[in-house]
Amino acid sequence: MIGVVDSGSGGLSVLKEITRLLPGEKYIYYSDNAYCPYGEKSQDFIMERMRTVSEYLMGEGADIIVVACNTATSAAIAGLRGLYADPSSEECRERVLKATGGRRDHVKFIGMEPAVKPAALGTKTGIIGVLATVGTLKGSKYLTSKGNVEDNVTVVEHVGRGFVELVEAGRLDGPEVETTVEKSLRPLLDAGSDIIVLGCTHYPFLLSVMERVAGPGVRFIDPAPAVARHLVDVMVQEGLISGAETDPALQQKKPDARLVASGEDSTLKNLFNMIYVRG
Ligand code: DGL
């Protein structure tokens, strides 16, 4: 079983890409929406939440966990890997054996990657935009990928202010959404960005509004398909792929996913139904 976690419903945009590749797998999705947004919370707070949720997911049957949240990846992925992913550490083995009821001695974690590199390779104006939360933009993972960009490419960034809250309220279009999107996108557009990286898993839910605001000539990059491909590679290495996953008949169906929320779950259920009806 694959565990997927986000601060809210945003990680469904990643689940959707994963289930395209692995439609026959079983999933458990955890929305930590009682504590959402994570964007401006401390690293220690997010680490503590991710620890609690990860152990819960392991106890419910997760054999591998996707942190479908850029902010939580930034704050906690290294810590989570240290605690649960290293079978050569006795403490790690004990911890995971306990959390999984003896089923596994380690659990791998897949995180989000800021797609700065593909954006930098694809830009024609030499200017790329990054939209993300405060936590992601301050995080070492993002700062490292930004530091690796060639000198002839300029990276401009902006927080998607209010985007997470809109998605959590199930508001994906309309005048209020357009105004909110315009405010955060405009500085990136005015700077001349022709490619904009979606550095938060909630943002793809606002993509049609962003495309309308940006107009033609601006492309948005979502790292989720690359993360899904990486998950498949790790599952193969871990011997977790069962073989039924790629059956094309399964691709037409809703995945076998259990949805869990620490808070109210109506948006989670609605967005889940929406993404699998729309395809
Ligand atoms: N989906 C989370 C991310 O990718 C949203 C962060 C938040 O809760 O503020 O960063």
Ligand 1 touching residue 7 (CB < 6 A): yes
Ligand 1 centre from 37 Cα, in Å? 6
Ligand 1 touching residue 6 (CB < 6 A): yes
* Residue of 12, 69, 92, 96 marked active site: 69
Supply the pLDDT for residue 113: 87
pLDDT of 275 > 70? The answer is yes
Supply the pLDDT for residue 246: 59
Computed over every residue of the chain, the mean pLDDT equals 94
Ligand 1 centre from 8 Cα, in Å? 7
Q: What percent of the chain has pLDDT over 70?
A: 95
Task: Over range 55-84, report the average pLDDT.
Answer: 98
Ligand 1 touching residue 39 (CB < 6 A): yes
pLDDT of 267 > 70? The answer is yes
* Banded model confidence at residue 249, pLDDT cuts 50, 70, 90: low
The two structure tokens encoding residue 190: 């005015």
Nearest residue (by CA) to ligand 1, atom 9, is 39
Ligand 1 touching residue 202 (CB < 6 A): yes
Supply the pLDDT for residue 86: 95
Q: 130 vs 247, which has greater pLDDT?
A: 130
pLDDT of 185 > 70? The answer is yes
* Residue of 116, 200, 231, 235 marked active site: 200
Ligand 1 centre from 235 Cα, in Å? 25
Nearest residue (by CA) to ligand 1, atom 2, is 69
* Banded model confidence at residue 254, pLDDT cuts 50, 70, 90: confident
DSSP per position, the chain: -EEEEESSSTTHHHHHHHHHH-TTSEEEEEE-GGG---TTS-HHHHHHHHHHHHHHHHHTT-SEEEE--HHHHHHHHHHHHHHHS-TT-HHHHHHHHHHTTTS-S--EEE----THHHHHHH-SSSEEEEEE-HHHHHSHHHHHHHHTS-TT-EEEEEE-TTHHHHHHTT--SSHHHHHHHHHHHHHHHHTT-SEEEE-STTGGGGHHHHHHHH-TT-EEE-SHHHHHHHHHHHHHHTT---S-TT-GGGGGSPPEEEEEESS--HHHHHHHHHHHHH-
Task: Over range 157-183, report the average pLDDT.
Answer: 97
pTM for this one? 0.95
pLDDT of 127 > 70? The answer is yes
69 is catalytic: yes
